[in-house]
A and B are shown apart, each in its own frame.
Chain A
Amino acid sequence: MNLEEYKGVFVFAQQVDNKVSGIALELIGEGKRLAEKLSAEVTAVLVGSDVKGLADELAAYGADKVIVVDDPELKEYRTEPYAHALASVIDKYKPEILLVGATAIGRDLGPRVSARVHTGLTADCTSLEIGDFPINPVPGKEQKHNQLLMTRPAFGGNTIATIACPDFRPQMATVRPGVMQKLEKKEGAKAVIEEFNPGFTPDNKYVEIVEVVKNLTDTVDIMDAKILVSGGRGVGSPENFKILDDLAEAIGGTVSCSRAVVDAGWKSKDLQVGQTGKTVRPNVYFAIGISGAIQHLAGMEESDIIVAINKDETAPIFDVADYGIVGDLNKIVPMLTEQIKAAVANK
């Protein structure tokens, strides 16, 4: 492998039902930032069927170039044709860095592709930098410059590790949704669009899609919410989430929850914040009756303002809360809702 041949920052521009996923725009934003440090360009790789029309949106959010792999075999996500598409793009265009969203799609696609092209893959990154590896010079070992340093939590968020991939290309990472910033949209921005089709021949690895079953509930994505009113086991019952619904409505927020609440069957999985749920960084996060297991903290501690209400003064949630209130949520929350309503009405 001649590492010098590999140039540029590529991002997998995930789309579902021919709609660009938020993570694709976040990766373009982050990719652009990294590309600038390398004096390189950011290229979005758009894979699907009849998706060429989405290229302008990727350009508007900062893509310098868009490679479109368009084929009827790519209509719905399936591991094999998508892996073939992305691995073929790597073979032909030789990117130095390839970023993929750590979504239910990307966490399947990424490993399959990295295994096919023989390179390293760092999972669920929360921070990316360009730097030296080893970070500090080690006698007798070459220090390589302009390496991708990929930082990720491990052990349920108890430790963080920074990983490099010095001897293989592309340097691949999956990146947690909701962590990177997308760029301001520039209407009318154009990218160089290139179509590429490596050819798709179904074989034993092409699985058949028998049925696509979409969740019927039309829920708000908690990752997009500016204010989250999040409840834990301490809320006590599914019925009692009503007081959180009321608070959310008064303050213009969205209700989310901890894993315990999902495990108890009180709320659906798409509302779960944390390591095995979603990473959120709203302007305000209310943690109500949430003790704050480390896996939960990993999903919300980047929130701008954290307000915690819990009757247990030793709850770990207070370690990350900006404003921690030790008290009875059943009394405080309804009263707070009333006062917020009054304050909003008086505006």
Chain B
Amino acid sequence: MKVVVCVKQVPDTKGGVKFNPDGTLDRAAMLTIMNPDDKAGLEAALRLKDQYGAEVTVVTMGLPKAEEVLREAIAMGADKGILVTDRVLGGADTWATSQTLAGALRNLEYDLIITGRQAIDGDTAQVGPQISEHLGIPVISYAQKIQIEGDSVIVERQYDDRYHVLKAKMPCLITALAELNEPRYMTPGGIFDAYKAEITTWGRADLKDVEDSNLGLKGSPTQIARASDKVRKGQGEKVTLDPSEAVAYIMDKLKEKHVI
């Protein structure tokens, strides 16, 4: 069984976001991590490796620095890392990103492709389903449980007020929720392997069956009209009062606003 996991290196928004003076994101000043949903997807793949001896290949698209997440994945137990990087791929929206990754995936054999549901920088949740469409395979998004049964995969697919148990013949693409599992830590042996591991690097020429017009900034149907810091509503009043005064204060405000 062959499993390919798509991961993304993202800024760690938990530690706060830093901006350049011109208002753009200061990526260099921020720590990067493997996107949490992707990490859960990787863990799901590694469990298939533990259970069925699946071969796990990890693919990422990004700047050369994104090689770091591939080494992290190998340190966790992945077999192979492929970095897709090329100047002409920069500035891609989700359409062009999914075209790029589909172009890379066409070079690989797979029974399952696992992506995270969404990345914490863009939060779009689009790239997984779009890849599946380009490859002509079924997609199951929002996976909270994954099992294999013969040549099929059985997945619990989360919705707001329910879940569906879905069965699809492989090959199939699954998008993983961070809730899927608790990702394992890197092992000392794994870190040693990761340090030595050879990372395969692919550029534009290595992408299969993709037109130039579908890649990078020029191949992106969506364009940014404007980007800015979030303008927050102004701070209201802040008071430090002892409890009974505080209650009187809140009661006054609620009455003033006709809440009670």
A interface residues, Cβ below 8 angstroms from B = 16, 76-80, 83, 103-105, 107-108, 110-112, 114-116, 118-124, 133-135, 149, 153-168, 204-215, 227, 251, 270, 275, 283-284, 294-295, 297, 301, 305-307, 309, 313, 318-328, 331-332, 335-336, 339-340, 343-344
Task: Among B130, B159, B244, point to the contact of A115 (Cβ < 8 A).
Answer: B130
Known: A112-B139, A160-B230, A212-B165. 11 other contacts (CB 8 A): A111-B128, A112-B130, A121-B94, A155-B11, A157-B230, A214-B162, A215-B162, A305-B253, A322-B237, A325-B241, A332-B243
Q: Which of B158, B160, B235, B251 has the most CB of A within 10 A?
A: B160
A120 to B124 alpha-carbon distance, docked (Å): 12
Q: In the complex, what distance in Å separates the CA atom of A335 from the CA atom of B253?
A: 16
CA distance A322 to B224 in the complex (A): 33
CB neighbors of A among B208-260 (8 A): 220-233, 235-244, 246-247, 249-251, 253-255, 257, 259-260
With a cutoff of 8 Å between Cβ atoms, the chain A residues found around residue B254 in the complex are: 284, 340
CA of A184 to CA of B94 in the docked complex: distance in angstroms?
Answer: 36
Minimum C-beta distance from A284 to chain B (A)? 6
B259 pairs with A161, CB closer than 8 A: no
Residues of A within 8 A of B126 (CB): 107, 110-111, 114, 121, 123
Interface of A is mostly: mixed
Report chain A residues within 8 Å CB of B225: 133-135, 149, 162-164
Q: In the complex, what residues of B have CB within 8 A of residue A105's CB?
A: 159
Chain B interface residues toward A at CB < 8 A: 11, 13, 17, 25, 93-95, 98, 120-130, 132-134, 136-142, 154, 158-169, 172, 220-233, 235-244, 246-247, 249-251, 253-255, 257, 259-260
Contact assessment for A307 and B167 in the assembled complex, using a CB-CB cutoff below 8 Å: no
Task: Please tell me if the beta carbons of B161 and A214 are within 8 angstroms of each other in the complex.
Answer: yes
Closest 5 pairs between A and B when the two form their complex, measured CB to CB: A120-B221, A120-B222, A115-B133, A322-B236, A123-B124
**B residues near A157, Cβ cutoff 8 Å:** 230
Measured between alpha carbons, how far is A323 from B129 in the docked complex, in Å?
A: 43
Q: Which of A115, A322, A343 contacts B129 (CB 8 A)?
A: A115
Shortest beta-carbon distance, B11 to chain A, in Å? 7
A156 contacts B237, CB within 8 Å? no
Q: A130 to B136, alpha carbons, bound, how many Å?
A: 34
| Chain A residues in 8 Å Cβ range of B124 | 111, 123-124
At the interface, is chain B mostly helix, strand, loop or mixed?
mixed
26 pairs of residues in contact across A and B, judged by CB atoms under 8 Å: A104-B141, A111-B130, A112-B132, A114-B95, A114-B126, A120-B220, A123-B122, A135-B225, A159-B230, A161-B226, A161-B228, A163-B222, A205-B138, A207-B138, A207-B166, A212-B164, A251-B260, A283-B259, A294-B17, A295-B13, A320-B235, A322-B253, A323-B237, A325-B246, A331-B243, A336-B247
- Find the A residue at minimum CB distance from B125: A107
Cβ contact within 8 Å between A213 and B162: yes
- Minimal beta-carbon separation of A180 from chain B (angstroms): 18
Contact B247 A339 (CB under 8 A): yes
Is the beta-carbon distance between B129 and A79 smaller than 8 angstroms? Answer: yes
Question: Are the C-beta atoms of A284 and B259 separated by less than 8 Å?
Answer: yes
Report the bound CA distance from A118 to B13 in whole Å: 31
Q: Which residues of B contact A319 (CB under 8 A)?
A: 232, 235
Q: Contact partner of A332 among B160, B228, B247, CB < 8 A?
A: B247
Please state if A120 and B93 are interface contacts (CB–CB under 8 Å).
yes
Chain A residues within 8 Å of B137, by CB: 204-205
Complex CA distance for A115 and B231, rounded to whole angstroms: 32
- List residues of chain A with CB within 8 A of the CB of B224: 161-163
CA distance A164 to B220 in the complex (A): 11
CA distance A294 to B12 in the complex (A): 13
